[in-house]
Structures are given as structure tokens and as C-alpha cells.
Structure 1
Amino acid sequence: MMLPLFAYFCRDWRTLLVAMSVPSILYMPLWWLIPESPRWLLSQGRVEEAEAILRGAAKKNRVTVPEVIFPQTEGEQKQFKKEEFHGFLELLKTSNIRHITLILCLVWFTLNIGYVGLSLNTAKLHGNPYLNCFVSACTEIPAYTATWLSLQYLPRRLCATFSMLLGGIILFFILLVPPGLTPLAISMEMIGKFFMASATSLVYSYTGELYPTGIRNTAVGICSMASRLASSIAPYFIHLGSYDKNLPYIVMGSLTIISGISALFLPESFGLPFRRPWIRCQG
């Protein structure tokens, strides 16, 4: 939402990039302020460090913790033993986990095509481009709120599929809007952006829940790489509009619907204990 405000005063794109990038330096001190993940520390056998972080969090939240958080019985010592290194090939090791990885890469790729494509397309909509960009960004606030609520109470697979299918269908409905009803076309594009943003934020949590701690970062990194590839080629999808103004909506809508159907073949992780989805994938 701040981008159109910066762009209004910084018309040169190089100046705009500097103005939007320099404030990121303020995040540097967070390296020393944010604690490490206790769950990851446990997977590395660093039980004492994980316990210290949990005690610090409990103290800040005024929660009473047991004297020993992680009992060191013989069986649990084996559980907390440092895990061996897992490379990205672990994501392709078995047929089930390989299918999940490929489907998630497709989903991440498609969602970023739609998300970035619709964001870039706001400049080509009728009306003030700065206002259109601002309204497009505003749609993400209710989208992220809806995602937060759905993560609390609804199954992940259902929400992801529902968001992508609706987003893709709405992009096709834009093609049916008569040329004179520009406000309706813009409104429908913003609704499509709503579902794209909602599914994009949801898939981060969903992906993390489908993998164990040892390869979770690798899995999210591979999927994120697929989404960054989509970000790189998204402008070319929008450029298709120079040949036919409906072509970007047809391509993005088709990809989104295909990905929504593919998400139906992912395992459900809502309400399941930690690591259970991984057991199902291997089984």
C-alpha cells in the first residue's frame, strides 16, 4: 500500500527502488533479537538450547513450565539425537513425497504467476494507476485475515483448492464483462487478487506442515524458488495482452484452475500430530 505513495513522488524507477529498499536495513538487528526455532534445535540434538528458549518465552508470557521440559529417558535421548543431513534429493526419494513436491512446486509457481501478474496489471486498468495499485494492495488485508481464520478452523487442502478454483473462475468471468462496465471488471479483478493472495499466504503454512523438520526448510526453499521463477516470467504473461487483451486472463485462469485441481491430491495436515503427514507420505 506504501508503494503507490512512494511511486507518486519518485517517478524515476531507480530512485523508487532505492527508496523502497533502504528501509530494509532496519531489519538487520532482528538477527540478534529473534530466537532460533526450538523444534529445529531438537532435531539437531541441542536440547539445552531449545529448553532455554522455551523457558524464556514462558517467562515473558507468565506461564509456569515444568522443572524438566524434555525428560531425558533412554527412548527420548534417541529421539533427540542429532539427525543426519538431508539434501534436496530427499524431496524426490519416494513416489509419494515426490508427487507432493511436484504438486506444491506447480501450486507455488501458478499462485505467484497470478499474484504478481494481477499486481502488475493494475497499471493497465482504467482510471488512476496509483489509486488502482493502492486498492489492489488493500485487498490483501482481508485476504490475509481470511487466511488466518481458515488456518485456525478449516482443512488446508479444502481452503487451498477453494481459493485457487474461485480465483481462476473469476479470471474467466472477467472475459464476459461488457466493455462499458469497467468498474465491474476492475472489481472482479480485485476479487481474483483476493483469492490469489489468500492462497499464496496459506500455502506457506501448508507446505511446512507436509514435511518433517529435517527437510522443511529445504522443501519451502525449493517451492519458493519455483515461485521466484514465476515472478520473473510474470511480466511476459501480462505482455500477452498486447496481442489480445483477454489472453493473460485465459492463461492465468487456466493455470490456476489446473493447480487447484492438483491440490486435491495433496494429503491433509489439519489437526494431525507433528510428523504424521510425513509418515503418510512414506507409507
Structure 2
Amino acid sequence: MANILITGANGQLGTELRNRSFSLLDDVFYTDIEELDITNFKAICSFIETHDIDTIINCAAYTAVDQAEEDEEKAMKLNRDAVANLANAAVKLDCLLLHISTDYVFDGTSDHPYTEKDPTNPQSVYGRTKLEGEQAIKKSGCLYLIIRTAWLYSGYGHNFVKTISRLASERDELNVVNDQWGTPTYAGDLAEAIIRIMERDDLPELEGVYHFTNEGACTWYDFAKEIVAITGAKCKVNPVTTGEYPSKAKRPAYSILDKTKIKETFDLEIRDWREALKSCMATF
């Protein structure tokens, strides 16, 4: 039995966790800013003590990658400082912290899928603040699991799948970047994996950093073409280069994550990104 606190519960991953069932023996408390301000250390400690929390799943983050370049203070507050608060509260009150991080901690220059042991080198404010959140967790001395993911989408909130689906119904053509490689991740599949992980009794022995995405790899152009095909729209998708589609924040050109560690440690089977995409879009 566990008492689980989920932060950022109104986001994509948090909502997918709400829609799934933890163990019947677990009590799960879903919170977002209205219920718990994780930038307030005392408020976190009070909540943990009041509800006898022993596990924290942190889904909260500042994820507006381009906006972060202009609002570094806000990104730092949520991606580093709030995470440090959760980690320090976990140490003080003896909790496990499971934290969601990102492929943006890497620079995107690799020629092989990134493992958990590869050196980090973020190229954007978003990536740097997320890495500093990871570092704050390790520095705190709390018991932790960090799961890095990438290209997250769901049927909720704002994401690439929903945006492309909408634009494909409104336009005859779309230009999409074809020189950035990664793996789309259905938040529902990540939620299922987290629940599986929470069922383990030996988590203190499995502390560390893990990678999770769906299987396979593609470019944003490939991803968009698959989305449009599933919608049945007649919209043409054109491949363009990153240089033709400039953005404020630098994106990794290659951010495929190696999932060997999480699959072997937790005996997970992960489905291909195309299969997961069809499953998600069927719920729209």
C-alpha cells in the first residue's frame, strides 16, 4: 500500500495517470497549482505530512520551449527550484520521488541512441533548467527515479498531434521539419509504465535515471505524415530543414533515447510509435 502524491496532474501525463488505475491498495492524490504550489517548500511538507505521502510522482514542468528563452526565471522556478523543493521534502519526510525529465538534456549530436550514461549538454533554457532539476534531485540525497522522455503527446492539452490534426483539416499544405530525429511518446503508454514501476517492492534498490519513449524513430515530418494519414485529410505535408523553420530555442537534431535499461529493469514491453499513435488518435 502506498500514499501517492501526483503533481502537475492537469497536464498530459498527469491526466493520463488520472485515467488509469493504480493498485486498489494505493491512495492517490492528484494535485496541480490550485491544490498544491510546489514552489512553496512548506506547503509541500504540510501536504505530505497531512496525507502521509510516501511516494511523489512529479509531472509538473515548464514545457514551453521557445517561451523559456525569454522567461528563464519562470522556467527555472518550476523546472529547477520546485523540483529541489520536492526532493528536499522527500528527504525530510522519507518519500520516494519519481520525476519526469526530457531528451533536451542532450545536445543532439550523437550518432547512436542516448543511454543514461551519455554526457548531458543542453542547448536551450528548457533543457538546462530540466537538467538542473535532475541535479538538484541527486544533490538532495533523496530516494529517486528519474525518467527522461521525448516528443510527448496525448489527447489532452496542447501537443504536436493535436496541432497537426487541426491544421490538416484547415490547410491544403503543411511544411514540417525533416532533419530532427526522435521518437514520439504517447503519454498513456508512459503512464502505464509508471504504474507498472510503482508496483515494485524493490524500488530503493533500483534508484537512478531511466529513458522511456515508444519504440522506433522518425523525423517530425514522418510523424506529421502519419498523423495526417490517420485523420484521412487530403493535406500535403512538405519536408523542410530546420534552417527554413527557425525557432527561438535550439532543438536537438538527434534525440533518440535507448530504452534498454528501463525495459530490462522493470520487464516492460514497449510498442512502436505508430501503433501507439493510432491508439491515441482513436480516442479523439
| TM over 0.5, shorter chain | no
Higher relative contact order (CA 8 A, sep 6+): 1
- TM (norm. structure 1) is 0.26
- TM (norm. structure 2) is 0.26
When you count strand as a share of all residues, which structure comes out higher?
2
